[in-house]
């Protein structure tokens, strides 16, 4: 269990997902978690749901904490950092989940020796199945990254990447759930077109994707190898795969990640200039 005081600046959906995960897994206790949130109704909801302390004052909350988790919109980062920077000491860790904001921008508001870590989680974190990439700033140490992995490990899988790879993370796992939702919808429609009731088709599709993902995760085999295991000579699967290849589904998915990555880079540049 992490024995440091955790402070969430912002109590939105991702902060709630993290709080739920770290409490349910025993990563931290409610007594060690504080939330600074401007909306009274949201503060009350979080306090009632998780039995923790919520406050309106960002600065006062930071002064009671060891790890500061910036869970605000990217457009708010500069304003929030200007407000709380006087209370941030070198002993603290600043962990940001603000998309597109480099560690160097966050560090520019703080003392030179403050540890900054950047995280990119995705929406399945809300059900404990997220994928989060982490990277350290110029003064981040291995122990701080281990702590960050513990926090985000409570809501799914974590990986450490170079900061130069974070836009690719956004294009892949950040946007990826939407790609998969589209696949689920399309395959379900295919089942309906072939005579299955929609609820039956969707249940089969969802479990097929869950099962396929687990096979890749647990078998250690390459996805292409697993694909070949399903594909009998002259059978049904090869006919379906033939259509997917003819329609360039593989190329379309690769390009989707590429275009989303480029858009992430564009948005980051716009945010960093503002």
**Can you give the pLDDT at residue 106?**
94
Among the candidates 133, 166, 199, a domain finishes at 166
- How far is 203 from 211, CA to CA, in rounded Å? 12
Among the candidates 141, 166, 191, a domain finishes at 166
Quick one: average pLDDT of 190-194?
A: 98
Residues 229 and 106 in one domain: no
Q: What is the DSSP letter of 37?
A: -
- Going by pLDDT thresholds of 50, 70 and 90, the confidence category of residue 274 is low
Q: Count the domains in the chain.
A: 2
Residues 23 and 142 in one domain: yes
- How far is 232 from 218, CA to CA, in rounded Å? 23
pLDDT in tens, 27-49: 999 999 999 999 999 999 999 99
Q: Identify the helix (H) or strand (E) that includes residue 130.
A: strand 130-136
Q: Which of 103, 13, 28, 39 is nearest to 66 (CA)?
A: 28
Residue 127, domain CATH: 3.40.50.720
**Can you give the pLDDT at residue 1?**
79
- How far is 115 from 139, CA to CA, in rounded Å? 5
17 falls within a domain: yes
246 falls within a domain: yes
Residues 199 and 257 in one domain: yes
pLDDT in tens, 231-242: 999 999 999 999
Residue 193, domain CATH: 1.10.3730.10
47 falls within a domain: yes
Helix (H, G, I), strand (E, B) or coil at 98: coil
**Can you give the pLDDT at residue 112?**
86
pLDDT in tens, 51-102: 999 999 999 999 999 999 999 998 899 999 999 999 999 999 999 999 889 9
Whole domain around residue 251: which residue ranges? 174-267
pLDDT in tens, 121-149: 999 999 999 999 999 999 999 999 999 99
Contact 138, 114 (CB under 8 A): no
Angle between helices 249-273 and 236-246 (to 10 degrees): 50
Contact 103, 77 (CB under 8 A): no
Percent of the chain whose predicted confidence (pLDDT) is above 70: 100
């Amino acid at each position: 269990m992490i024995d440091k005081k955790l402070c969430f600046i912002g109590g939105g959906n991702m902060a709630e997902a993290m709080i739920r995960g770290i409490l349910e897994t025993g990563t931290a206790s409610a007594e060690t978690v504080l939330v600074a949130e401007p909306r009274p109704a949201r503060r009350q909801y979080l306090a009632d749901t998780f039995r923790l302390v919520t406050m309106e004052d960002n600065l006062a909350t930071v002064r009671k904490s060891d790890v500061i988790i910036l869970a605000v919109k990217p457009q708010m980062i500069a304003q929030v950092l200007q407000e709380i920077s006087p209370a941030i000491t070198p002993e603290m860790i600043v962990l940001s989940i603000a998309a597109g904001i480099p560690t160097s921008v966050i560090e520019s508001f703080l003392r030179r020796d403050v540890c900054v870590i950047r995280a990119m989680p995705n929406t399945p974190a809300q059900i404990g199945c997220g994928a989060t990439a982490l990277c350290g700033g110029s003064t981040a140490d291995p122990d701080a990254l281990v702590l960050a992995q513990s926090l985000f490990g409570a809501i799914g899988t974590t990986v450490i990447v170079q900061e130069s790879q974070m836009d690719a993370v956004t294009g892949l796992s950040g946007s990826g759930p939407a790609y998969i939702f589209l696949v689920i919808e399309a395959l379900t429609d295919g089942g309906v077109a072939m005579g299955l009731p929609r609820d039956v088709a969707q249940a089969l599709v969802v479990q097929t994707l869950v099962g396929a993902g687990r096979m890749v995760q647990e078998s250690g085999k390459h996805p292409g190898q697993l694909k070949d295991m399903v594909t009998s000579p002259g059978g049904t699967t090869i006919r379906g795969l033939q259509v997917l290849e003819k329609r360039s589904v593989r190329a379309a998915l690769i390009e989707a990640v590429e275009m989303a990555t480029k858009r992430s880079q564009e948005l980051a540049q716009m945010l960093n200039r503002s």
